[in-house]
Structure 1
């Protein structure tokens, strides 16, 4: 078998390995790019698909209406939704129904994001939390209480009526900016010890404002 002559010559052949070592040596003096996790927080991209969360409207009502479209869209069959009907004494979301049972099995979830694309009310979104390691299989099944975002400052804990003069369509279009006085009065009458009464911030929202 014939071998081509190395055009670098004997000296080139001798110095060739040194060129590779040079890359290694110069990296010693370069700034480190290793993230010191868990001592420093993870740096993920803004559109990173992490753990799911169930969102609320500005007055505290839940956005999930129990339509189950997220469960139908899931290719891994990781979501279970069971809806229940809202009643005048137990209004958890705008409209007729709310998600009474909501489960996500993170042993199956592939974080594809199809569920959040299917959600018609933007009730389900994905955050940046990826620390989902547990010690048992049962704890990898997240219930509604684990997924529902906490009340923000100014919100009123459901159940309570919708804002007066507004329909569920007004909620979906973003007309609700906060809690109304009638909602506060209803919760104070039915649940006078509710801790969210102390932090609820009343915002005037009328049907005329919703039409603007």
Structure 2
């Protein structure tokens, strides 16, 4: 009978409610740890693997030699390459270089397989698309990413060079 009376008194005094309010009050005066995402970003690891990038040489020539090793090693089969048969006789080039970003698992095997470091993982991973077909990155988009993120990519590759 005594235990039942204690429970009744505790429920009438709303003890659980006051305990919850005490926890809330304690957390109100602690510093915020929330990050306002698009304006503020957490720092990424130097080995972060983001959206793919095709690189060019300093002279503007494409690095990709159409060896198709990245397509062969991709476990998700997210890369599709067609060789340009009309290209120069001394160097093979790609006519089509597509990556399906929804299939990609961002493992980085394509980057490791490339003998000339033509494809690397970029420093960003912002993928918000209004159109489902925007998930396919074509060759010109990949090359444009390489040009716009060149400084960040070069810095990351230089920092990671001793591990390659």
Residue 100 in 1 paired to residue 95 in 2?
A: yes
TM-score using structure 1 length: 0.54
Compute the displacement of 1:139 (Å).
1.3
User: How many angstroms apart in 2 are the aligned matches of 1:19 and 1:45?
Assistant: 40
User: How many angstroms apart in 2 are the aligned matches of 1:112 and 1:151?
Assistant: 23
User: How many angstroms apart in 2 are the aligned matches of 1:27 and 1:134?
Assistant: 37
Query: What secondary structure sits across from 2:112 in the alignment?
Result: helix
Compute the displacement of 1:23 (Å).
6.6
Compute the displacement of 1:147 (Å).
0.3
User: How many angstroms apart in 1 are the aligned matches of 2:59 and 2:148?
Assistant: 9
User: How many angstroms apart in 2 are the aligned matches of 1:109 and 1:29?
Assistant: 43
Alignment of 1:1-212 (within 5 A): 25-84=25-84, 86-87=87-88, 96-148=91-143, 149-150=146-147
Alpha-carbon displacement from aligned partner over 1:96-147 (angstroms, at most 9, x marks no partner): 2122210000121111111111111111111122111212221111100110
Higher relative contact order (CA 8 A, sep 6+): 2
Contact 2:122/2:149 (8 A) holds in 1: no
User: How many angstroms apart in 2 are the aligned matches of 1:146 and 1:133?
Assistant: 15
User: How many angstroms apart in 2 are the aligned matches of 1:117 and 1:23?
Assistant: 50
Contact 1:71/1:79 (8 A) holds in 2: yes
Query: What secondary structure sits across from 2:147 in the alignment?
Result: coil
Query: What secondary structure sits across from 2:37 in the alignment?
Result: coil
Q: Which has the higher helix share?
A: 2
TM-score using structure 2 length: 0.68
Query: What secondary structure sits across from 1:116 in the alignment?
Result: helix
Count residues with an aligned counterpart. Answer: 133
Q: 1:46 to 1:138 in 2, by over 3 A?
A: same
User: How many angstroms apart in 1 are the aligned matches of 2:80 and 2:113?
Assistant: 14
